[in-house]
Amino acid sequence: MAILLVDELTKRYRNGTLANDNLSLAVEPGEVYALLGPNGAGKTTLVRQVLGLLKPTSGRIHVDGVDVVADPKYARRAIGFLPQAQFAMEAIQVGELVYGIARLRGLDAGEARRRTDELLDELDLGPFRGTQLRSASGGIRRLAAFATAVVGHARFLVLDEPTNDVDPVRRQLLWSRLAAFRREGTTVLLVTHNLAEAERVIDRFAIIDHGRILREGTPAALRSLVTDRLRLEVTTTEAFGGAHPALQPDPATPGAYLFDHSDLAAVSAWVQAAHESGELVDFRIGPPTLDDIYTVTVGDPRREAVGAAK
């Protein structure tokens, strides 16, 4: 049985915004399932309904087979979650916060202390144990929130953008913790912009836009969508006169482009000429990344056709 079942879910806000549009998905026990999509795609709206914090306009959501639209408290008890919103308790210290939440989730004092120490150590938050939230950086607050989401040994975690604002070194620690959850069989629903980093810990992902799922599958299956493309990354100088028309810019990475295999000869000739004329100081042509699937699906002018085909 799926641990999370979302069936024909529609959410229309009072102001008329259609944030989730007849959306269905299932997350199996032990899966790490990622939701990816541009700002405003409807990811947080979906997450808030799964957590029982927001009522759907129509459709069904089951967690462990329990109808959480009818019983929203079940979802909040069963799921360890990291919301987008920040904490109200600004004066509390990072260590106290994690320990306090562990106790609230039912761990006894010894276990809560052990688990807090373990997590602070694993996320390299030890130096910030005594730091009050109000004087911690955005990234440290985010990591503290992550620690509170995972401290209670929930079997199912819902994490909304856990890596936002987190520095690169601690971001790697966070991904390692997620990889460990996967090995341990914890189910995770993860909202992330960072597919390249997420790739090694996710089992499946869905690309959402305008409240609908455009694509869903394993990283390997979705990679096959971009096998006819190549990726070009360039470092330009002030002399740069603009990219070859066959190059589709990657909106997420300045200086990165996608192009069709069939344009390789033309693009190579252009790169060579631009390099010789001093417009490019560096360039690299390689296979597409997982992020390029996102570019192709959401950033492509043919996107309307993808949506319309459903």
Residues near ligand ADP (CB under 6 A) are 13, 15, 17, 19, 37, 39-45
Which residue lies nearer to ligand ADP by CB, 42 or 72?
42
Q: Please, what is the minimum distance in Å from the beta carbon of residue 163 to ligand ADP? A: 15
Q: Please, what is the minimum distance in Å from the beta carbon of residue 56 to ligand ADP? A: 13
Q: Which is nearest to 63 in space by CA: 79, 45, 47?
A: 79
Which residue lies nearer to ligand ADP by CB, 207 or 274?
207
Per DSSP, 132 falls in state: B
Which residue lies nearer to ligand ADP by CB, 17 or 58?
17
Q: Please, what is the minimum distance in Å from the beta carbon of residue 70 to ligand ADP? A: 22
Which residue lies nearer to ligand ADP by CB, 48 or 141?
48
Q: How far apart are CA 49 and CA 262, in angstroms?
A: 45
For residue 191, give both structure tokens.
């909202």
Describe the strand order of the beta sheet including 187-191 as a list of residue ranges: 79-82, 156-160, 187-191, 32-36, 204-209, 212-217
For residue 130, give both structure tokens.
């005594």
Residues in the chain: 310
Which residue lies nearer to ligand ADP by CB, 41 or 125?
41
Q: Please, what is the minimum distance in Å from the beta carbon of residue 281 to ligand ADP? A: 36
Q: Please, what is the minimum distance in Å from the beta carbon of residue 210 to ligand ADP? A: 9
Which residue lies nearer to ligand ADP by CB, 14 or 310?
14
Q: How far apart are CA 52 and CA 143, in angstroms?
A: 23
Q: Which is nearest to 302 in space by CA: 195, 239, 204, 225?
A: 225
Instruction: Give how far Cα 56 sits from Cα of 12, 28, 276, Å.
Output: 8, 22, 58
Q: Please, what is the minimum distance in Å from the beta carbon of residue 50 to ligand ADP? A: 12
